[in-house]
Structure 1
Amino acid sequence: MEPLANDRLAFQAGTFQEEASVQPRRRKAVKELDQDTADAFVRRLCNLLDTADFFGRHASLSPQEKITKLFLASAEDKDKSEFNCAVSPKVRQQVPVLFQAIAGVMEEKSGTMVQSTAEINEEGFGRGLLYTGRVILVLKSLRAGAPFPFTSEEKTIRYGVECIEEGLAFLEKYNEMSAFHGLLSLEG
């Protein structure tokens, strides 16, 4: 063989050995949830579900059963949402209720009035917005309905707690900055 061909084979053999020694990607470490926040979120979500249960048909259910029966989407609803990016009615119901529950917990924890606005159209595009006064605390864009529909309680709670922590962290940072610099220096 020619020297160039031998070098090419040696190079290729070396790359195969290097590829074999590469470690597989690790998933991001799953952050431990604050149990108090998770409990407050479940309580607030169940309160909102009870509000929509006009005749009290589901009043005797445990919080987990209420969330499963009244809030979570079934596999059939998830399939409807994935077909042509159209969202099911269950998903259109989940979005505002979830953001209202998040806003309620943020109010409890911060002592300031937090409002929520959530909308999603038939194609799955929309947004969830949590704000206090003129300050936007959390803004989540929904594209093709993602991360909705929630089909497991664990994912719902994780998403809610992460939004709560994000909003409270931003509110705390905003309060520190506005206390030091004043409100007028933060405006665009």
Structure 2
Amino acid sequence: MEPMANESPAISEGALREAAQLKRLSRPARKAVDQETADALVRRLCSLLDAEDFFGRYAALPPGEKIAQQFLASAKDQSESEFNCAVSPKVRQQVPLLFQAIAGVIEERSGTMIQSTAEINGEGFGRGLLYSGRVILVLKSLRAGFPFPFTSEEKVIRYGVECVTEGLAFLAKYKEVTALHGLLSLEG
């Protein structure tokens, strides 16, 4: 017999605990979210939500509650999205609104006109695209709606800030290339 077959279960449990501890230690620590960018994203998202609130029902709410009531998906919405690969109406609302808010923040920070396009089909496949002229700054593929639906404000902010950072970094990287003729005159 092999040596492992003769060992006691207590030893194997200890090995499992050590492996779990090593796995926890090896996880990369999450970076802190840039608070200024997070505040700008929340402000933009709230202004977009206010534009859709025709009767002003949520106008008096603070930003966190406004996002929770009008934007975040409930557990029911999340389970509806996971059932049968169908996307809930809440997810179909979240995708374009979030990408519009991200585009607004990048536009504020860079002074360059940024546009957003977001689409998601009934099965949850689609893309979110942020671009300026012919330069694509952020392209996110959606598979089965992932990472949507967002159920917590923290996750929305983290995702949005990561997209803003990615877009600004890409814009800065190619600023030299586009400086001579502008973003709209790139060939190709």
TM-score range, shorter chain: 0.7 to 0.9
- 1:85-164 to structure 2, matched below 5 A, reads 85-164=85-164
Code of the aligned partner of 2:102: I
Task: Find the partner of 1:24 among 5, 22, 34.
Answer: 22
Cα distance in 1 for residues equivalent to 2:77 and 2:178: 45
Cα distance between partner residues in 1 of 2:178 and 2:129: 21
Partners of 2:37 and 2:109 in 1: CA distance: 9
Deviates more, 1:56-65 or 1:25-34: 25-34
Cα separation, partners in 2 of 1:110 and 1:162, compared to 1, 3 Å: same
- Give the number of equivalent residue pairs: 176
Q: What is the CA-CA distance between 1:178 and the residue it aligns to?
A: 4.6
Larger radius of gyration: 1
Letter in 2 for 1:80: E
Per the normalisation by structure 1, the TM-score is 0.85
Q: What CA deviation, in whole Å up to 9, does each residue of 1:147-186 have, x standing for no partner?
A: 0000000000000000000010011011135559x99xx8
1:79 corresponding residue in structure 2: 79
Compute the displacement of 1:32 (Å).
0.5
Range with bigger deviation, 72-81 or 26-35: 26-35
Question: What is the SS of the residue equivalent to 1:25?
Answer: helix
**CA deviation profile, 1:65-99 (whole Å, cap 9, x unmatched):** 10000000000000000011110001000000000
TM-score by length of 2: 0.85
* Partner SS state of residue 117, structure 2: strand
Q: Which of 3, 7, 12 pairs up with 1:9?
A: 3
Instruction: Name stretches of at least 5 consecutive residues in structure 2 with no aligned partner.
Output: none
Return the letter of the residue paired with 1:24.
L
Which residue identity does 1:143 align to in structure 2? R
In structure 1, what is the Cα distance between the partners aligned to 2:150 and 2:3? 51
What's the RMSD between the two structures over aligned residues?
2.5
Give the 3-state SS of the residue equivalent to 1:131 in structure 2.
strand
Which whole-Å deviations, capped at 9, do the CAs of 1:95-142 have from their partners, x for residues lacking one?
000000000000000000000000001000000000000000000000
**Which portions of structure 1, spanning 4 or more consecutive aligned residues, are displaced by more than 6 angstroms?**
none
In the TM superposition, residue 25 of structure 1 has moved relative to its aligned partner by: 1.3
Q: CA deviation at 1:47?
A: 0.2
Identity %: 73
